[in-house]
Structure 1
Amino acid sequence: MTTLTKNKVTDLFLGQIPNFNSFPSLRRKAQDVLMQKGLPESKDEEYKFTAFSKKLEQSISDYSPAKTTYLSQEIVQSHTIKGFEGDLIVFNNGHYEPELSKLQGQPYEISSLKDSNPVSLGKVSKIENDPFIALNSFAFEDGIFIKVGRNKIIEKPILLLYFNQSSKGQVISPRVLIEVEDNAEVSFLENSISLDEEAYFCNTVTEIIVAQNSHVHYNRLQNESKKAISLNNFGADIHRDATFTSVVVSLSGEMLRNNLSLNLLDSGCVGNMFGLYLLDGKTHVDNHTNVDHTKPHAESNELYKGILADRSRGVFNGKIFVRQDAQKTNAFQQNNNILLSEDATINTKPQLEIWADDVKCSHGCTTGQLDEEALFYLQARGIGKVQAKGLLLYAFAGEVLEKISDETFKVYIDNLIQERLGSSF
């Protein structure tokens, strides 16, 4: 095909993904950004340790949009968390499946993006912020719009199940926009599921607007196939006296990248970010976070922990910006890692940029091995080495797991982690 940009993978996407008629201005802008910048290469500082373009070139054979695959109610039910009682929203290769979803009349609205055409689409996760936001904005066919009205309390969590299967490695482009109006509360759970062991590329954009005095929890589990290539751009605008909490647990996949951006737009708002990555084999997980404090008297808390075995690789890059007007900011950031193998690797880079002079900010990172003295202490009391090792690692992970807002989801993830720690680690 004719070369359009300086980036081969970008050309493959631009040449095979149709420019859908819906959202024309968003798609034109996305196409312009891709033409000008292309997808990131190794020289791009933001993707220095995660060669996404190279991985796509090696693993993907068809750059066209993925179509829906066979998915039955039985399959959905088998992957629904035992004991879960809230609403269920099902995606099939990025396409919303209302017939397979389970909505029980809770007080919120859900519609397709095409039908609702919300003006806020693309306002939180801006196309120019990341090339993969631009790619999703160019490639997505439709998505969902969830609106939680003023003063509404959603008592049961909403579970989003993403079923991915693409035998040709086609691109899956889910798109979700959530608006939570004043004085509302809601909790979301998200689980990504691979229906086979073939390679696929899932490029997701999720935008959340948290209005004044609202409270939102969003819990994510990534436990995909060993060939899964997944990139998630997640953005939240947080307004006065509102709280947003994100928890992401990454267990499996070939290459996973999580971009999380919180914009603290007014006084009294709080942004919380917690992450756990438990990696083995050759799994590569990259967590990039960005917190932007723009107004005074706001707070952010961030804790990411990693346990890495075999030849796995982790990347953590956390940025906190404190603008000149954001006096009395309180910002905390910490990244802690345990390496269980000489071949496991972690690249960590916590960052602070502060333009205000009356703030309380701290950041740090640690990387080490399992505490041999603690291991010896447990063994001396009759606990076997494997069990003792598992107990110490579980205790290390527990500080993040306790942040999961839904007990059913917490127990489900807890069981996965205990099973993992008792076997391959």
Structure 2
Amino acid sequence: MSTLIKQDILVELSANAGTGFEQVREAGKTAFQAQGFPTNKSEEYKFTAITKKIEQNIQNLAPAGAFDVTAEQVKANVFEGYAGDVLVFANGHFLPSLSSTIEGVEVAALSDKADTALGSIAKPEKDPFCALNQSSFEGGIFISVPKKAQVQKPILLLNFFKADTGQVIQPRVWIEAGDFAEVTFINHSVNLSDASYFVNKVVEVKGGVNTQIRYYKLQNDGKNAIEVSNLETDILKDGRFSSVTISLSGEMVRNNLSLNILGSNSEGNMYGLYLLNGKTHVDNHTNVDHTVAHAESNELYKGILADSSRGVFNGKIFVRQDAQKTNAFQQNNNILLSEDAVVNTKPQLEIWADDVKCSHGCTTGQLDEEALFYLQARGIAKDQAKGLLLYAFAGEVLDHITDESFREYCTELVQTRLGSKF
């Protein structure tokens, strides 16, 4: 992407970003100017030509802005059986009039929290899209769970996206949880447009001592949508963070998920499932940084790819010199249903400590023909037998969703896609 277009993006998006966070925005602007959009020589974006995709589709460089959402739309898009709270957004702008009041939890628009330490966890110099968001995000939300709060019901972050071709949406989320707090978030986006727009989202999660945080995300974007998502969290002593990312649709999607293991006896869990068809392209980049001794991380990503879809997985685990007694596991498994489907997978370990238990691996293959024959021999039609085997492969990830209503909703979507519903 040309330098002129890069500067135009900063000028146009920053002009609409509003007031507040001046120093934070300036740091983001400086970081973006230093990095620019990734080129085809950028190792981190080697298999995902997202700059080319943005250049082809961004036309007016304008932010999409907020729009009206009705109570009926909210009700229609909360999945059946859900009993938790709901926070509603329109193109990243928080809509308090349609949102729940969550007892004991502080929720506010970011514009009212100008002293929030944005960029202190998801640092702009680490990724150009993170820097672009920090320089010019609109709206956004601040969520604070107090010390020792046990938030029994999950919190649904319901995002409505509506934009014209070439417009940009930049949501920003800050979540903090005090010591000994427990909370579950569900991020669900609803696409209201078939246009080719660009979503560039950043979520920062600041945990405390012995906090238990779960973050589930369902990506079922419009077929022409382009999305980059950066989520990063700090995990302190005795803390536990678990994420599940389900990717089903979108023209090109890039997920950056980073866990900073900063305290002993802490645990980070990362689970992902991508079911791709058509020409959908999904790239999952994960990073786990073990900096202290006696901590654990677990990572399992699975992909099922059909037609001419493409999947990318690049998982990095760093074990620093002081991180003795680390236990880290990473696995990526893929099934290709078409000769035209492609997956690029690269699990990585970098270990500087000598007393650790670490493993990684990846597999890419096709359906087990013997298992398929076995089911058919017992009277199950071939398509249903195929769907059952694929669901058995995918279900291991879905099992890590603790909220029953959301798990059932995702299960139904996955079973419908795989043809395993009877």
Which bracket does the TM-score occupy, shorter chain normalised?
over 0.9
Q: Does the Cα contact within 8 Å between 1:216 and 1:245 map onto a contact in 2?
A: yes
Distance in 1 between the 2:234 and 2:171 partners? 20
- The partner residue of 1:402 within 399, 404, 417 is 399
Residue 147, structure 1, aligned to residue 144, structure 2: yes
Taking the TM superposition and a 5 Å limit, the aligned residue runs for 1:332-351 are 332-351=329-348
Q: Does the Cα contact within 8 Å between 1:65 and 1:139 map onto a contact in 2?
A: no
Taking the TM superposition and a 5 Å limit, the aligned residue runs for 1:233-272 are 233-272=230-269
SS at match of 1:42: coil
Q: 1:199 to 1:423 in 2, by over 3 A?
A: farther
Between 265-274 and 160-169, report the one with greater CA deviation: 160-169
Q: 1:13 matched to which residue of 2?
A: 9
Distance in 2 between the 1:401 and 1:9 partners? 41
Structure 2 alignment gaps of length 5 or more: none
Per the TM alignment, residue 18 of structure 1 is displaced from its structure 2 partner at its CA by: 2.6
* Amino acid paired to 2:207: V
Taking the TM superposition and a 5 Å limit, the aligned residue runs for 1:15-414 are 15-19=11-15, 20-103=18-101, 105-414=102-411
Per the TM alignment, residue 169 of structure 1 is displaced from its structure 2 partner at its CA by: 2.6
Q: 1:413 to 1:8 in 2, by over 3 A?
A: farther
Distance in 2 between the 1:154 and 1:120 partners? 24
Q: Does the Cα contact within 8 Å between 1:238 and 1:269 map onto a contact in 2?
A: yes
Q: Does the Cα contact within 8 Å between 1:172 and 1:202 map onto a contact in 2?
A: yes
Between 141-150 and 303-312, report the one with greater CA deviation: 141-150
Structure 1 alignment gaps of length 5 or more: none
SS at match of 1:347: strand
Q: Does the Cα contact within 8 Å between 2:57 and 2:165 map onto a contact in 1?
A: no
Distance in 1 between the 2:395 and 2:115 partners? 39
**Residues 4-38 of structure 1, C-alpha deviations (whole Å, 9 max, x = no match):** x9545423312321344311111111111222221
Q: Number of paired residues?
A: 419
**Residues 361-385 of structure 1, C-alpha deviations (whole Å, 9 max, x = no match):** 0000000000001001100111000
**Residues 116-151 of structure 1, C-alpha deviations (whole Å, 9 max, x = no match):** 224422111001010001000011123111111011
User: What's the % identity of the aligned pairs?
Assistant: 58
Q: 1:259 to 1:365 in 2, by over 3 A?
A: same
SS at match of 1:267: coil
Distance in 2 between the 1:9 and 1:365 partners? 39
**Residues 90-140 of structure 1, C-alpha deviations (whole Å, 9 max, x = no match):** 11011111112122x422111122212244221110010100010000111
Q: 1:269 to 1:423 in 2, by over 3 A?
A: closer
Distance in 1 between the 2:85 and 2:219 partners? 20
Q: Does the Cα contact within 8 Å between 2:329 and 2:359 map onto a contact in 1?
A: yes
TM-score by length of 1: 0.96
SS at match of 1:99: helix
Distance in 1 between the 2:107 and 2:231 partners? 19
Q: Does the Cα contact within 8 Å between 2:202 and 2:229 map onto a contact in 1?
A: yes
SS at match of 2:237: coil
* Amino acid paired to 2:79: I
**Residues 27-83 of structure 1, C-alpha deviations (whole Å, 9 max, x = no match):** 111111222221111111101111111101111222111111232111111111112
Q: Note the aligned Cα RMSD (angstroms).
A: 1.4
SS at match of 1:117: coil
Structure 1 stretches of at least 4 aligned residues deviating more than 3 Å after TM superposition: 5-9
Q: 1:42 to 1:7 in 2, by over 3 A?
A: farther
Distance in 2 between the 1:276 and 1:168 partners? 28
Distance in 2 between the 1:252 and 1:84 partners? 23
Distance in 1 between the 2:14 and 2:267 partners? 40
* Amino acid paired to 1:48: K
Distance in 2 between the 1:8 and 1:382 partners? 63
**Residues 250-271 of structure 1, C-alpha deviations (whole Å, 9 max, x = no match):** 0011001100000000101100
Distance in 1 between the 2:106 and 2:213 partners? 16
Q: Does the Cα contact within 8 Å between 2:391 and 2:420 map onto a contact in 1?
A: no
* Amino acid paired to 2:34: Q
Per the TM alignment, residue 210 of structure 1 is displaced from its structure 2 partner at its CA by: 1.3
Between 400-409 and 10-19, report the one with greater CA deviation: 10-19
